[in-house]
Chain A
């Protein structure tokens, strides 16, 4: 986090036109097919109105010829219009999913694979991050959707006005005036709506974030019997959110109802204005019938435009929020064309093959060095001008009191948090972006508080690499005994955050994750904190046994046992190296 977030600050916005347009361009065909069907559906009532006029005009005595043909035609138009809707909607749902998927895939890919630290790109809680993937992606998809309606409704309205102009300019004006008034009103209401929507969105994020946080720490809360207090807080947040949501929803509804008012007002005005002409016989009864149909047809536009401007505005915040997930907070990267595999699913995953250390050539580690590394986080110097060298086959241990910057140092040299200064070199070659370079097979990392994912144990260890090394990695991580006691062995589902495993098991599972990648340099942040002495002993022994001086480890620890083994001990104090 670079800056604390203030709840009341006006959120950043980005062009929702550009964002949606770029997604549209990613697969224009899908959008165009939807559009064609939508236009047909919206414009068909023009024919209905004209046919109705013809039918009503033939009700005058002496002009009945062909009236039944016209009625049949009218039936055909109506039936065809509705039957077209079925394939249109199914097709549209596919497009709807696609519009969501593009920014999601872009964000997930960038967060997981792009170079550079991701700090400052993700919001604080995973719950809020999910809201980016869920709500913000939906807001953007809604823009693409409302564009379909907008184009179709505009064509229908314009066509309607043109036909009305030909029949009776007075009626055309009568129907256009309320539309124009509502369009203007909609613009005024629009900016209010935007503000209300923003407040509502923040309140909602507060609620979902709270649920995520509370249930993420459910163990601690239960142990302290804090459930009633959690519920109280949840209700407070819900109360606040309901107030914001009510205002937002009613405002949106007003904008929508204005559309319905237009139809009635337009028809009423048209009747007022054309009454004399009808009286004089310049207009026919059929024309009045046409007015009734076209009033609804033409009035479709304000309703769509109200939704359009609301959603377009709403998506400005969402586009920026999706952009924040990307490098440089660039919304263009979130909306870039990307490959999706919606129809047939992605091709089978090709696991990363672990190249045996003996065949690594250029990747082979000889020396890893850090010079003058400084990290500035949360407005304080966490690490200050640290030098560090690791040579092949060495165990280098970083130690120091709590809060001395050990973990930050490790995360910075891996590029997981940005560094303020300093160089990092792999075999004397400077590494500009460690987050892209210091990954397997060069480096693997066991964080201090590892996260397991809800899947089979084997899967959460492998995370997509070739399973060939799995048994050896599990053995090295001293998980074999635990596995023997698990009902389904490596197929055992490990719950969210590995809830069903003990702290030590989680840590050793994370260690296996790193081992299976056979890194040149293993970076371990306090591996042994949840391990008993015997297990830890076994683990370190196993790691170095038979490695013939090939195993290189950079570890954070303050265990005497580990420090004894170390070739080099680096002591940190207040972010500075003291030995």
Chain B
């Protein structure tokens, strides 16, 4: 045995500890609810013996009525126990879900690259669902039946100690079979759930990219993948069932044989004249009483196995550490912040540097245009400043502080980013602007921000205004989506702004409209404007040219533009030729 409990047990224990009092009350109720039914078989036995002894009908009726009262009260109490336990299970389950969600939110983007939203639905909700189901029903069944078995053993010992021993041995053998097989089955249930997670993850992505699939005639391929995953599930499900549910079957056989042995013992003792017929029946009922509900437990055992597998995966998720750790340094000073890259080398962990020893300073309150061809590392610069990744060599400093010394929340509250792909939330417009209320802003501010970026007309056209639900990417055009992202940044009022191809999806007219808002956004702030199209850089102070991850040129925009030998001037000339009319 391990000296320390496994992570899954520790996890559940941590979450159950605050519920000690409720658990205590539940257990007390459960004891009463489970002990009452023990009266049933005893009363049936007494009933039979009374009949054989020729007692009068009134005595028989009294026993029958007692039987009814005792068993029905037990049933009613069980319902109360259920109510309490379901409440408890949901409390604990939701706490677990919250912890998992918080943890997943804290993980870095690299990790999220490996975990699709569909997978996370399974991890945060599906797995815990199994845990909740298990703890609201199966735990009680297990606990209740332990009490029941103990009661049966005590009462049957009073009638005939040999029967009690026999019942005890049967229970022990059945439980041993189940526990042994259960342990064997856990990895197979893990396999099954893993296959299912893959299946749902794949389904989610395919459904999300349905238009890409359809328009490229790839529907048949998507179906093939589903068929493959389904076949995988069939295989793993049957394999897991053979082990997990095989346990039920074997344990059932043990109980069946056990109760027949109790009957045989009773028959023998009766023939010896040491046991009444009624007691034979009582003992037989007892031996069945421990097996009948244990069948229910066994039914729950599959749930238990799923729950254990789920808890294990939850523990694993909680054990995974984000690659980015919050610093403990002092908060950033107020006002504009300087941004500096010091000898930065970074390659997303692949060994191929995307940025190669880049040194770059953006003084507080100035704007820097970053240019270079696709894949030159421009976007990565922005990501490192927002600390979505950590540098592999060198350091990124914001406000003179290494970003690794800051808390991520503090840093990102001061940085506003608009990326090439605007991620819209399937939530009301208000939530899309404030990101679920992480920016405190009243309606007037929200409306003003939308008008500032040129979405005023669009807002007026919405029947529910700020409460209009946005249906994923569908309802806004990509250009409008980018305008919305601009509004988000305006509202957040950051000290540092990173515009990454921010206006790439806008037509020239809309872009011009946005220019005014951009000017306001950049005024007094430190800004990086990453652009393919040089025309969008007319307003920046300085220019940095990146090529294959190296900073090949850096200087005042006006100076570089004026120097015909500079890379920037050459790029500018090239772009004037290709982009046609200058705007």
Contact = CB atoms under 8 A, between A and B. Distances in A.
A239 B416 CA distance: 32
B44 to A, nearest CB: 6
Contact of A108 (B222, B413, B419): B222
B312 interface: no
Interface string A81-114: 1110110011011101110110011001101110
Interface in B279-314: 280-281, 284-285, 292
Contact of B271 (A64, A101, A560): A64
B375 A481 contact: yes
Interface string A217-249: 111111111111111111100110010011001
Interface in B88-117: 90-91, 93-94, 97-98, 101-102, 104-106, 109, 112-117
B420 A530 contact: yes
Interface stretch (A12-20, A156-164, A312-320, A446-454): A446-454
Contacts of A216: 117, 208, 423
Contacts of B60: 271, 275-276, 278-279
A533 B533 contact: yes
B379 A463 contact: no
Given A212-B120, A231-B105, A254-B82, 17 more contacts: A56-B277, A56-B280, A59-B270, A224-B416, A242-B91, A250-B83, A268-B68, A341-B231, A400-B507, A435-B214, A447-B211, A447-B215, A463-B222, A495-B116, A505-B374, A526-B505, A533-B533
Interface string B211-249: 111111111111110111011111001101110011011
Contacts of A11: none
Contacts of B509: 401-402
B260 interface: yes
Contacts of A371: none
28 contacts: A75-B260, A89-B245, A97-B233, A113-B220, A124-B426, A124-B471, A125-B472, A126-B207, A209-B426, A211-B101, A215-B120, A216-B208, A217-B425, A224-B438, A229-B435, A230-B436, A238-B94, A249-B136, A271-B60, A296-B292, A352-B220, A416-B211, A444-B215, A449-B421, A463-B221, A464-B221, A529-B505, A532-B533
Contacts of B205: 126, 451, 453-454, 496-497
A409 to B, nearest CB: 12
A153 B469 CA distance: 49
B121 A342 contact: no
A384 B65 CA distance: 81
Majority SS of interface residues in chain B? Answer: helix
B216 A129 contact: no
Most-contacted residue by chain B among A130, A346, A414, A485 (CB, 10 A)? A130
A503 B223 contact: no
Contact of A112 (B56, B213, B473, B475): B213
Interface in A114-138: 118, 122, 124-127, 129-130, 133-134
A242 B223 contact: no
B551 interface: no
B68 A257 contact: no
B360 to A, nearest CB: 19
B18 interface: no
A513 B117 contact: no
Interface stretch (A189-197, A259-267, A388-396, A424-432): A259-267
A213 B425 contact: yes
B417 interface: yes
Contact of B207 (A122, A399, A414): A122
Contacts of A222: 105, 109, 388, 412
Given A130-B207, A229-B437, A341-B227, A285 B277 contact: yes
* A-B pairs with lowest CB-CB distance, top 5: A112-B219, A464-B221, A78-B256, A451-B209, A560-B580
Nearest to A399: B507
Contacts of A496: 112-113, 115-118, 201, 205
Interface in B454-475: 458, 469, 471-475
B144 interface: no
Interface in A317-353: 340-346, 349, 352
A165 interface: no
Contacts of A341: 227, 230-231
A407 B507 CA distance: 13
A455 to B, nearest CB: 9
A503 B421 contact: yes
Contacts of B97: 234, 238
Majority SS of interface residues in chain A? Answer: helix
A485 B105 CA distance: 30
B25 interface: no
A269 interface: yes
Contacts of B83: 250
Nearest to B137: A253
A563 B215 CA distance: 25
Interface in A29-43: none
Contacts of B478: 407, 448-449, 526, 529
Interface residues of A, number: 176
Contact of A292 (B93, B264, B285, B501): B285
A71 B257 CA distance: 11
B440 to A, nearest CB: 10
Contacts, number: 550
A56 B44 CA distance: 14
A96 B83 CA distance: 30
Given A275-B57, A526-B478, A560-B579, A59 B248 contact: no
A201 interface: no
B75 A279 contact: no
Most-contacted residue by chain A among B75, B204, B473 (CB, 10 A)? B204
Contact of B504 (A82, A279, A530): A530
Interface in B417-432: 417, 419-427, 431
B125 A207 contact: yes
Contacts of B221: 349, 463-464
Contact of B352 (A64, A279, A463, A485): A485
Interface residues of B, number: 182
Contact of A352 (B217, B278, B411): B217
Interface string B503-520: 011111110000000000
A143 interface: no
B120 A85 contact: no
Contacts of B106: 227
A67 interface: yes
A238 B425 CA distance: 18
A452 B212 CA distance: 9
B113 A445 contact: no
Contacts of B209: 450-453
B477 A285 contact: no
B435 A226 contact: yes
A276 to B, nearest CB: 5
B217 A440 contact: yes
Given A89-B246, A122-B210, A560-B579, A109 B219 contact: yes
Contacts of A452: 209
B318 interface: no
B117 A109 contact: no
A108 B225 CA distance: 10
B35 interface: no
Most-contacted residue by chain B among A59, A204, A402, A450 (CB, 10 A)? A402
Interface string B45-86: 001100110101100110111011001100100110011001
Nearest to A453: B205
B118 A126 contact: yes
Given A74-B260, A112-B218, A449-B478, A402 B241 contact: no
Contacts of B438: 224-226, 228-230
A548 B225 CA distance: 38
Contact of A532 (B411, B439, B532): B532
B87 interface: yes
A402 B477 contact: yes
Given A56-B277, A111-B219, A534-B373, A253 B79 contact: yes
